[in-house]
Amino acid sequence: MVLEDINVLDLTIARAGPTAVRQLGDWGASVIRISMPGPDDDFASNTTNSDYLNLHRNKRALILDLKQQEGRDILYALVERADVLIENFRPPVKKRLGIDYETIARRNPQLVYGSISGFGQDGPYAEKGAVDQIVQGMSGLMSITGLPGQGPLRVGIAIADLAAGHQLAIGILVALHERQTSGKGQWVHVSLLESMISFLDFQATRWTIDGEVPWQVGNGHPTYFPMGAFKTSDGYINISAPGGRTWKHLCQVLEDLSLLDDPDYLTTELRSRNRASLLERIEAITVTRPTREWWHRLDAADIPCGPVYAIDEVFADPQVQHLGMAVTVDHSVRGPVAILRQSVNMTRTPPQVPTAAPMPGQDRDAILTELGFSPTDIDGLVERGVV
């Protein structure tokens, strides 16, 4: 495995942090998930649900009370052997627990320390907590999502969490690469807010460069049309034919060549400006036939298109089945379960075959034995509530 020589300590909770850890674990890094005793993380309170099982694969698990000095000492011993530590505590919490960057770096200057926060490690909001939906709103994402005039709408996935997790994973890999030259670790930190704003991409630069505030445009592309979802007799189909050859071919497939000569639709800019009337004219035709028939006709004309699936239909699609996006692992409680595989494909060094998410603390004895603790030592730690 590509990262089999990398040891990762996972002190994360919720979704964004574990998402970053998952990227490393999928490529073979040895991951120890360290959780606190008791229900300190509502998100992880059900450790056998589908979300937890998919998010925490490829890990070993240890419960460690970091409020006790003995617990911190065990963590520090693990830090001395680690390459990466990832956490998403608020700044005052990690300082109080003795797991802040400065403290950890003194124990292992070569360690890459990764952090995820809601709003950043400093600044007026640094000590505020945040969850995905809060950041979806504050980043402006909800203002550009949904139908015109319906009010703000959240995206249907925890996209701010996922964006931050993936960006932290990239940053950690960059820091590990740089360490090969400098021999030094460093602090890599991202926030949900920074990550989500960066994911706005061209919608953000419509403001920063052009001074234009984007708004909701529904299922159509913000700046090109026709590109979006159109009603059919039994559902919807996505079509992308905003200009040039595809626009001409679309009119031919729709059997309405009058669209080509209509002065309201002569250019890409006019079609976008007059999208409401053009949508009405196109849907008056698309609603006369089922989705699959339009898919066949449009595809034959080399027009990018595809059905709008429900989730069960996604995994029934022959291409998705061919790609094998769901892989089965054997869980100690749930038995065989299908989790999502790593989406990056590599010819020589593929990601590792996933292992099931561990139950909290299930690898306690093995991990502590590796650190040199005897069975008697471990029993004493258990009695004192350290592990």
Q: Which residues are catalytic?
A: 161
SS3 of 7, please?
A: strand
Task: Check if the beta carbon of residue 69 is closer than 8 Å to that of residue 77.
Answer: no
| Rounded Cα gap, residues 283 and 84, in angstroms | 53
Written as one letter, the residue type at 247 is W
| Rounded Cα gap, residues 197 and 163, in angstroms | 10
Query: In sequence order, which residues have a C-beta less than 8 Å from that of residue 99 and are 6 or more positions away?
Result: 11, 66, 72, 75, 85, 87, 89
**Strand intervals (E) in 93-160:** 112-117
- Of 64, 135, 146, 163, whose CA–CA distance to 371 is shortest? 64
SS3 of 61, please?
A: strand
Task: Check if the beta carbon of residue 33 is closer than 8 Å to that of residue 57.
Answer: no
Task: Check if the beta carbon of residue 1 is closer than 8 Å to that of residue 25.
Answer: no
Omega before 92 within 30 of 0, i.e. cis: no
Residue 70, strand partner residues: none
| Rounded Cα gap, residues 336 and 330, in angstroms | 4
Query: In sequence order, which residues have a C-beta less than 8 Å from that of residue 100 and are 6 or more positions away?
Result: 91, 94
- Of 57, 36, 166, whose CA–CA distance to 114 is shortest? 166
| Rounded Cα gap, residues 298 and 243, in angstroms | 15
| Rounded Cα gap, residues 253 and 192, in angstroms | 44
SS3 of 8, please?
A: strand
Residue 368, strand partner residues: none
| Rounded Cα gap, residues 318 and 313, in angstroms | 10
Q: What tokens appear for 367 in the block?
A: 């991990």
| Rounded Cα gap, residues 127 and 92, in angstroms | 7
